[in-house]
Structure 1
Amino acid sequence: MWDSESESVGGRDYDNGVLSSSKPGLQTDGFEQRGKSWFVSTDIPSDLVVQIGDVSFHIHKYPLLSRSGKMNRVIYESPRDTDVNKVALNDLPGGPESFELAAKFCYGIAVDLTAANISGLRCAAEYLEMTEDLEEGNLIFKTEAFLSYVVLSSWRDSIVVLKSCETLSPWSENLQIVRRCSESIAWKACANPKGIRWQYTGKPPRSSSSPKWNEMKDSSPSRNTQVPPDWWFEDVTILRIDHFVRVITAIKVKGMRYELIGAVITHYAAKWLPGLIKEGATAPLDEGNNVSNISSSSSWNGGLHMILSGNKDDLPAVQVKDQRMIVESLISIIPPQRDSVSCSFLLRLLRMANMLRVAPALVTELEKRVGMQLEQATLGDLLIPCYNKNETTYDVDLVQRLLEHFLVQEQSENSSPSRHSSSSDNKMYDGGSHRAGAINNNNPNAKMRVARLVDSYLTEVSRDRNLSLTKFQVLAEALPESARSCDDGLYRAVDSYLKAHPTLTEHERKRLCRVMDCQKLSIDACMHAAQNERLPLRVVVQVLFSEQVKISNALATGSLKEAGESQFHHQPIVASRKTLLEGTPQSFQEGWASAKKDINTLKFELESVKAKYLELQNDMETLQREFNKVSKPKQSSSSSSAWATGWKKLSKLTKMAENSDSGSHVANADQNKKATRRWRNSIS
């Protein structure tokens, strides 16, 4: 292997960076350009014109015929009536630049080989069939040797050559240049950072300036310089998407940690998909070689791109078709492990995939990936526009599918909780042992976080008048009841939907309110709902009943604590209630003061009614006594006396029955006997 990383970009110690033919050709001082035509500086007039695009080369037949099999066939196998003094080679790989170098080689002129021109020259030599059969040490042999012994041993040159292969398809693929460069890059990217001695473009180490390409001879990383695990990100992300995929695939095979692979994919997307990732939204690598959402802005300056384009700010404009291909390729190479990329990145990629109408199979795969870590999402990430006409503003069906994938994933994790990532994922770069991904798989709070997220999403999309009641209900009921310990979020969404859809019928409002459980509403939410005129009357009654139960339980609990607990135990309750009130949505706080005042007024009126009832009862008893006195018998007839006595006894029996149920039957028996006896006496 060549230790050539400290060498300059312009030349290599391969015959001092100069390539020449082993046999001298015509005596010439070189080529000179006149407009778009090249002429050989010699006394012998040219007898052949080679046309490549709009550039013409006025050269001689003999130097090319002696080293190019294709030129032999074109000239000697052409029909006799055809003018062989002019040949068009418009499909020559590398274009006029490569043919110029090949022609100079044929004339014996020294050619300076660099990483920027070697791939084009190698493909042009293959096209011209400059093989060893015509001459020993021909151009194919020379360029192949330079590729194998110089380029592939260098990190920088491998990147530059692979970048230059973008315009050489399919020749670069057929000649295995892309494959060999991808393998070389993958091997070096997977090297232990402690052993890296070559220069790279990337984040500067702490207390150190960023490396510059014009200072590479003496500025290679020292042994004491700490190399970050993402040192290779900047260089590989200048590649075209198909070559980037080849490199990442080779890196995967060699066992790179999936967190680093996910981070470089995020880095690439930020650079080539403008607007996908907000600047400064992610954090760099930490010192423990752990990846925590490696940062990457949408624009990138410096590095190998300066060598290729000459302008560090000149990134190619990506068209819609190219963006679609980039998104599809990135989806296909995302590592299957959980948390290899952030959920926010996946949702942003999903948003762009829907906008660009990516292949449905890849979109489905991406939705499954989002479902694996949906609890990490935020409301802003879920608000994905719906690109179908005459539909809702946001894609509610998409969120419904994400919830289904999340529930399926949760169920599968519960059935097989012992899944772990492969050992190779944790060994590369001697990184810290196990990531938090395997720990988060069975987090019991995941469903609760997703429930809060869905409630916030419903509150946001419920303002859309095109959102049907069925879609709202299906999304609200997608999660199991155990996912919500409190339905305040659902109540807020229901109330928001009722505000935005005032034309709902009574039946539709009842159907809408079935998505929430009144018993799971907080006391403050119940108080707000009790005066909410948009709710159906039946729901208000259920809320009031639930509130009464909560108040009774709270009073009972409070009295017990006042009797048996110290002031120390009271403090957490007050604090938790204060926290609950502070965290209650603003919409619930509106009207609470008036609601409490109305309830206190109703309680006062109820006490007044009870007092009036007791007063009326006392007046009735007084009137009864007065009536008994007035109706006292003044006549001596036995029949009238008997009826008056019976009336008095009957009233006494009634009062005794109200006071004691156990002794009523005995008293009735005794009185009946006496009444019967007196009745008989009166008859006699």
Structure 2
Amino acid sequence: MWESESEARGRERMSSLEIERHDGLKNDAFVRRDQSWYVSSDIPSDLLIKVGGISFHLHKYPLLSRSGRMNRIIYESSRDCHLTLIELDDLPGGPYSFELAAKFCYGIAVDLTASNISGLRCAAEYLEMTEDLEEGNLIFKTEAFLSYVVLSSWRDSIIVLKSCEGLSPWAENLQIVRRCSESIAWKACANPRGIRWAYTGRPSPKWNSDSKESSPSRGQPVPPDWWFEDVSILRIDHFVRVVTAIKVKGLRFELIGAAIMQYASKWLPGLQDGSSHSIDEGWSQGSGLHMIISGTGNKDDLTGSQIREQRMVIESLISIIPPQKDCVSCSFLLRLLRLANMLKVAPALVTELEKRVGMQLEQAALPDLLIPTFNRGETACDVDLVQRLVEHFLVQEQIEPSSPSREEAPHDSVRMSSSGSNAKARVARLIDSYLTEVSRDRNLSLTKFQVLAEALPESARSCDDGLYRAVDSYLKAHPTLTEHERKRLCRVMDCQKLSIDACMHAAQNERLPLRVVVQVLFSEQAKISTALANSNSTFKQPGEPSHFSQLNFPNPTRRQLLEGTPQSFQEGWVTAKKDINTLKFELESMKAKYLELQNDMDTLQKQFEKMTSGSSGSSNSGKPQTGSTWTSGWRKLSKLTKINNADGQDLAGAHGTGPSEQGRKGPRRWRNSIS
């Protein structure tokens, strides 16, 4: 409640505007019997007015003297002295406001309060009770009360604005809503110093309005959210008017966002966090995660009017959220987005809400990100929605300036870039956890999983353990994947970014393709060797012995490195090594067979050359030599064999084999084809 010093002056001024009473009438001149009102008078009533099912047995002349509308209706309807019936079902304020207006016409004192002033002001306008008929008529008195009493009081402004909900469009046309909204906004933004307060929000002994000292003690600051509770009782359209007026006056955007969140929590029951149910329970139902939409039920539990009302509240709240980042929490935005999808909010507003979530996606929590889809036959969670949120996040990261301005220091650029990388890392961890959860859905396609996993750049993840868990969970839930699909799935992670624990698990994981297991083993071996080499070079100075020699340790060999690895890693390495040795043995056997064939060919070639040389020496008649064609062919084959032997020797020398084994090495094409 807000009470200023001007309120007291306004009430004193209103004492001069008290409605007079005629001496000939009593205070209890109006008597109600069932659904009818009667005037205690010796003169019989000649006018019957029906308003909203209530009958008023009145006299013509008191109403004719102060109501222009009644004067015109009575004159046009009938001029005889018989009873005249008038129905005023469209009178604003209903029977209660007409009762007060009729008492005013009879000169009975009417107590003007914040509860009845708006309806009485609209009824006076409807009945045309202007100053042209009588000075000090009802329009003048109600306007004076609004200006001097209501608008100077926080509590009365809230009450009047609340009472205007059933007076549309009269309250709008008479500027009652606008003036009360401006008054509330001014008081919410004003400096509390020098103002007499009476706080009626959440009960607290420090703000007890019944105590003699209604203002806070000196040095005790007024809570910044003192006005949230009172404003949250307003209807959504009036709340929007108040928040819009507060924005114009420049109140801090984080306070406006907090007021919006409190209003939403009060008027949207489905916005409460209902994600306490396990995700497995949702998948076991087969129809999606409808039980986590809210703790009070789903869309099927709401009536048509409730759906329309909540849809209007959501659309209005989206339109008034301040554009600044962090004015509302990301959890609130995601829960609002979940309700917007369920209630079929306008697509343009849903897109705007998705962009707002993308601005601060790094603040999201996994339970809020598990937004169900409402189309049967699809995945339980809306994976496409999360994909759009990641895209909005990346677009926002590119839009934000990455270089400092002229006024900024150079270190500000480093700080901004580091914060951007930290945000991407948090989003990467969030998406990895999300993929682990949704991968258990059997309707999730491999393409959707892969697209979402590869949505973030590689620099966003310093470790791919989260991706490995998601991949393993997907393989476990989809045992019918082909070998090609398994390899395609494993391409989303980098084996070199796995930790030692993930490598130990992958070495024993039978669901992974063999090629991926070998890559994991080799990458881990390379990391161990690199780490040991770096530690050795770090402690070694030029001209000094190595760090291992200083500690009387020999330089680590490959066997020592293997012995230093965990047992599970050694078992995986032994299996891979056996496969490699088998391939080497087959290669050596093939090379030996090739050499035997080559020796037989050389023997046959020598015998043939002797035969051809003997036949050529005994023949001197100048006849053509029949063996020349065969000799040239064998020579070409011999030359080709020597070239292949040279290639085999070069290959053996490149792989570090001894001189005695170089002659046994086969050509390069054999090695390539077998390996």
Q: Taking structure 1 as the reference length, what is the TM-score of the superposition? A: 0.71
Q: Residues 672-683 of structure 1: matches in 2 within 5 Å?
A: none
Match of residue 235 from structure 1: 230
Contact 2:184 2:242 in 1 (8 A): yes
Code of the residue aligned with 1:389 in structure 2: it is R
Q: How far 1:224 sits from its partner (Å)? A: 4.8
Alpha-carbon deviations, 1:266-290, whole Å to 9, x = none? 11111111242459x9xxxxxxxxx
> Partners in 2 of 1:470 and 1:195 — Cα distance?
65
Match of 1:264 in 2: 259
2:501 paired with 1:527: no
Asked if residue 367 in structure 1 is aligned to residue 344 in structure 2, the reply is: no
Q: What is the aligned length?
A: 535
Residue-by-residue CA offset, 1:279-302 (whole Å, 9 max, x unaligned): 9x9xxxxxxxxxxxxxxxx99xxx
Structure 1 runs not aligned, ≥5 long: 282-297, 300-316, 421-437, 571-591, 610-653, 665-684
Shift in Å, 1:43 = 1.4
Q: For residue 444 of structure 1, what is the aligned residue in structure 2?
A: 421
Cα separation, 1, equivalents of 2:418 and 2:89: 58
Distance 1:5 1:216 in 2: 21
Change (3 A) 1:372 1:557: same
Matches within 5 A, 1:506-521: 506-521=483-498
SS of residue matched to 1:515: coil
Pair 1:113–1:66, CA change in 2 (3 A): same
Secondary structure of the equivalent of 1:364?
helix
Name the residue aligned to 2:221. Answer: 226
Partner of residue 463, structure 1: 440
Aligned-partner SS, 2:56: strand
Between 168-177 and 555-564, the greater mean CA deviation after superposition: 555-564
Partners of 2:21 and 2:109 within 8 A in 1:
no
Q: Structure 2, unaligned stretches of length 5 or more?
A: 277-294, 297-303, 408-414, 552-564, 583-648, 660-675
Corresponding residue number in structure 2 for 1:53: 52
Q: Confirm whether residue 376 of structure 1 aligns to residue 363 of structure 2.
A: yes
Alpha-carbon spacing, 1:600–1:506, altered in 2? closer, same or farther (3 Å): closer
196-205 or 16-25, larger mean C-alpha shift: 16-25
1:2-40 deviations in Å (ceiling 9; x for gaps)? 9468879xx944544984258778677421111111111
Post-superposition Cα deviations, 1:404-449, rounded to whole Å, max 9, x if no partner, equal 10000000013576699xxxxxxxxxxxxxxxxx979953310011
List per-residue Cα deviations over 1:476-515 (Å, max 9, x = no partner): 0100111111111111111111111111111111111111
Aligned match of 2:389 = 402
Following TM superposition, by how much is the alpha carbon of 1:552 offset from its aligned partner in structure 2, in angstroms?
Answer: 1.9
The equivalent residue for 2:247 is 252
Task: Report if aligned partners of 2:93, 2:119 keep a CA contact under 8 Å in 1.
Answer: yes
Q: Which amino acid aligns with 1:350?
A: L
- Structure 1 Cα separation of the partners of residues 529 and 459 of structure 2: 25
CA distance in 1, matches of 2:351, 2:383: 15
- String of CA shifts for 1:453-494, please: whole Å, max 9, x gaps: 000000000000011111111100100111111111111111
Match of 1:310 in 2: none
User: Would the aligned equivalents of 1:2 and 1:149 in 2 still touch at CA under 8 Å?
Assistant: no
Q: Give the 3 Å change call, closer, same or farther, for CA 186–344 of structure 1 in structure 2.
A: same
Flag the 1:44–1:18 CA change in 2: closer, same or farther, 3 A.
farther
- Give 1:148 shift: 0.5
Q: State the distance in 2 between where 1:442 and 1:24 align.
A: 80
Q: Is the 8 A contact 1:3 1:154 kept in 2?
A: yes
Moved more, 27-36 or 385-394: 27-36
Which amino acid in 1 is paired with 2:32?
A: Q
RMSD, aligned α-carbons: 3.8
Q: Is the 8 A contact 2:3 2:196 kept in 1?
A: no
Counterpart code for 2:313: I
- Paired residues of 2:3 and 2:197 also in contact (CA < 8 A): no
Q: Aligned AA for 1:598?
A: E
CA contact (8 A) 1:526 1:544 kept: yes
Match status 1:211 vs 2:188: no
Tell me what 1:556 maps to: 533
* Partners of 1:18 and 1:419 in 2: CA distance: 64
Q: Tell me the residue number matched to 2:600.
A: none
CA distance in 1, matches of 2:148, 2:417: 47
- Provide the C-alpha distance between the structure 1 equivalents of 2:575 and 2:475, rounded to a whole number of angstroms: 28
Name the structure 1 match of 2:135: 136
Alpha carbons of structure 1 residues 532 and 443: separation in structure 2 relative to 1, 3 Å: same
Q: Report what 2:571 is aligned to.
A: 598
After TM superposition, give the deviation of residue 538 of structure 1 in Å: 2.1
Q: What is the alpha-carbon distance in structure 2 between the residues aligned to residue 134 and residue 264 of structure 1?
A: 46
1:519, 1:546 within 8 Å by CA — same for their partners in 2? Answer: yes
Cα offset, 1:42, TM superposition = 1.4
Take 2:174 and 2:272, find their aligned partners in 1: how far apart are those partners?
Answer: 37
| Counterpart contact for 1:152–1:158, Cα < 8 Å | yes
- Aligned partners of 1:513 and 1:488: how far apart in 2? 12
Distance 2:406 2:88 in 1: 59
Query: 2:431 corresponds to which residue?
Result: 454
Q: After superposition, what is the alpha-carbon deviation per residue over 1:156-199, rounded to whole angstroms, capped at 9, x for unaligned? A: 10011000001111100000000000000000000113343221
Offset at residue 45 of structure 1 (A): 1.1
**Alignment partner, residue 92 of structure 1:** 91
SS in 2 for 1:38: strand
The one-character-per-residue Cα deviations of 1:71-91 (angstroms, maximum 9, x if unpaired) are: 111111226799861111111
Between the aligned partners of 1:90 and 1:4, the Cα distance in structure 2 is 41
| Cα distance in 2, alignment partners of residues 166 and 344 from structure 1 | 31
Letter aligned with residue 154 of structure 2: W
User: Partner residue of 1:330?
Assistant: 317
1:489 corresponds to: 466
| Partner-residue secondary structure (3-state), 2:503 | helix
Query: Which residue does 1:110 correspond to in 2?
Result: 109
State the one-letter code of the partner of 2:48.
V
CA contact (8 A) 2:68 2:127 kept: yes
- Number of the residue aligned with 1:411: 398
Contact 2:390–2:455 (8 Å) recurs in 1: yes
Aligned residues of 1:413 and 1:441 also touching (Cα < 8 A): no
Cα separation, partners in 2 of 1:3 and 1:404, compared to 1, 3 Å: closer
Mapped pair 1:342 → 2:329? yes
- How do 1:635-646 and structure 2 match up within 5 A? none
Q: 2:351, 2:235 → 1: CA distance?
A: 25
Q: Secondary structure at the match of 2:326?
A: coil
Taking the aligned partners of 1:257 and 1:59, their CA distance within structure 2 comes to 55
- Structure 1 residues 320 and 416, CA gap change in structure 2 (3 angstroms): farther
